[in-house]
A and B are shown apart, each in its own frame.
Chain A
């Protein structure tokens, strides 16, 4: 009875977006389309290669199959080395990240200068890719796992310290206040009131970073920094595609296992 439609004149209009908002959305869309078109035209893409890409892919897969399983025993050692590089690099990064985090957190750093030093270390560490760090440390230490460990540590310090510094900035001040009120030194306040609050973050990000590092150290061999990457690089250069398959499968298994382990450990942190 009463739910008959009101006459048009009485009907109130409703729109999700105002006309100005709609115009802005269309302009943003046009800008995105322009940038995409510009990138494609600037890159001189050789479209001819697309024409036979599927046959090339099928050809490659054919040469990769069947995997040469007899190669597996030869790569066990470099696979283990890869995990060791990731583990040692992460361990060094954890040890270095705590002091850096306390420097880079506004509420624990001594003054503006120390804060800038802390932030500078974060930016330097994070803005350089692990493989580039690998190139630098291969130049310093020569090829081998030591360069890989240093590369992993150098990249991970910034990652860990940034997240721990954020955690330090978010600690509950009441707990800090209570420990301060007992007459404890600043270092003791950090040890007793700040550290317990950020420890779950430190452990969680360290385990997460370790699993990223397992993945990253598997390509460090490309620049001579040890691990399975060296063998992958050599096999590709020798067109030993059946060995490449074995390496890729073995690496995937290890990466999946480390991800599962990392997820499990993180789920148990309280």
Chain B
């Protein structure tokens, strides 16, 4: 098995550290014929925050969703600590998903449940159906939930309903739900795209801190290059389903951005954009939050 993976990842890879995730030749073709991922090779180590950038439709969202098979890959391999997730049966896939925490753009909390129920949902892989219906979780899990809520700044919010929270608070619950899985890998899909700029920075800082504290590697899709530069150890850029850049944030210059996003005046002010009619439709769509689920 290990021999078969001998194909080297692009530079900027894992260095001396042990590898956690290896993606090899990952391809996704949607039934519409759109080739969202085109032979992606990618490796991450057992720690560090990796930001994935690229324009809408470049394959970022498909990539992250293929890793835990919310989107079924067309071909390729996804090795989590050496185990290929693509070939797993349902039970094996559930076991693998328990080890992968996911944080979403639209938070995806169960709106009518309380904060505590949402956090404990991260432990569903460890209880049966009857206990799920009765909301019976191990006392250690409940303790962990209280601790995590305090850590993300929601001490005392456990009995609030999720639909009573603000966007930033909801994303904090989403983070707690992912972390209570004690994941070996964090998948974070546009965590800040539905938030205002200030909250976005707070959330990114929190994700970074927690990933570091818990020595959990994180893959974070971001459309905001500035956030990626500030909070990531490594930036990977997608364009048309391929990785076109993979290096430290410092190496990301204007010429590279042109290559990733196509030509654009990066120093132009936002105000000037407002008059030019369809300047940034992709970004506006995201802020309105109406393109959830569209492969980004």
Chain B contacts for A192, CB-based, 8 A: 110, 113, 117, 121, 124, 132
Encode contact with A along B94-137: 1 for CB under 8 Å, 0 otherwise: 11111110101010111111000100011111010100110000
A170 to chain B, nearest CB (A): 14
B106, closest chain A residue (CB) = A174
B105, closest chain A residue (CB) = A174
Chain B contacts for A28, CB-based, 8 A: none
Specify which of B110, B112, B133, B293 is in contact with A179 (CB 8 Å cutoff). B110
| A173-B293, A174-B292 as given contacts; A181 in contact with B97, CB under 8 Å | yes
Does any Cβ of A come within 8 Å of B1's Cβ?
A: no
Does any Cβ of B come within 8 Å of A197's Cβ?
A: yes
Within 8 A of A (CB), among B113-172: 113, 117, 121-125, 127, 129, 132-133
Complex-state Cα separation, A185 to B94, whole angstroms: 7
Chain B contacts for A56, CB-based, 8 A: none
B133, closest chain A residue (CB) = A191
Chain B contacts for A199, CB-based, 8 A: 112
Chain B contacts for A181, CB-based, 8 A: 68, 70, 97, 100, 102, 187
Does any Cβ of A come within 8 Å of B181's Cβ?
A: yes
B70 to chain A, nearest CB (A): 6
Does any Cβ of B come within 8 Å of A175's Cβ?
A: yes
- Which interface residue of B95, B96, B102 has the most chain A CB atoms within 10 A? B102
Does any Cβ of B come within 8 Å of A196's Cβ?
A: yes
Does any Cβ of B come within 8 Å of A180's Cβ?
A: yes
Contact A178 B95 (CB under 8 A): no
Complex-state Cα separation, A196 to B118, whole angstroms: 12
B21 to chain A, nearest CB (A): 16
Identify whether the interface residues of A are mostly helix, strand, loop, or mixed: helix
Does any Cβ of B come within 8 Å of A193's Cβ?
A: yes
| A174-B104, A181-B102, A185-B129 as given contacts; A196 in contact with B70, CB under 8 Å | no
Contact B177 A178 (CB under 8 A): yes
Within 8 A of A (CB), among B63-101: 68, 70, 94-100
Within 8 A of B (CB), among A154-186: 172-175, 177-185
| A182-B124, A182-B177, A191-B132 as given contacts; A177 in contact with B94, CB under 8 Å | no
Contact A174 B70 (CB under 8 A): no
| A183-B96, A183-B98 as given contacts; A178 in contact with B132, CB under 8 Å | no
Specify which of A173, A187, A193, A200 is in contact with B110 (CB 8 Å cutoff). A193
Does any Cβ of B come within 8 Å of A36's Cβ?
A: no
Does any Cβ of B come within 8 Å of A252's Cβ?
A: no
| A174-B104, A181-B97, A183-B94 as given contacts; A188 in contact with B112, CB under 8 Å | no
Contact A182 B104 (CB under 8 A): no
- Which interface residue of B110, B111, B112, B181 has the most chain A CB atoms within 10 A? B110
Chain A contacts for B122, CB-based, 8 A: 182
Specify which of A173, A178, A187, A200 is in contact with B129 (CB 8 Å cutoff). A187
Within 8 A of B (CB), among A179-213: 179-185, 187-188, 191-193, 196-197, 199-200
Q: What is A's interface to B at a CB cutoff of 8 Å?
A: 172-175, 177-185, 187-188, 191-193, 196-197, 199-200
Q: What is B's interface to A at a CB cutoff of 8 Å?
A: 68, 70, 94-100, 102, 104, 106, 108-113, 117, 121-125, 127, 129, 132-133, 174, 177, 181, 187, 292-293
Q: Apart from A178-B177, A183-B95, A188-B129, what 15 extra A-B contacts exist at CB < 8 Å?
A: A174-B293, A175-B111, A177-B70, A177-B104, A178-B110, A180-B97, A182-B121, A183-B97, A183-B99, A183-B125, A187-B132, A192-B110, A192-B113, A196-B110, A199-B112
Could you give 5 example pairs across A and B, Cβ below 8 Å?
A: A174-B292, A178-B109, A179-B121, A184-B124, A184-B125
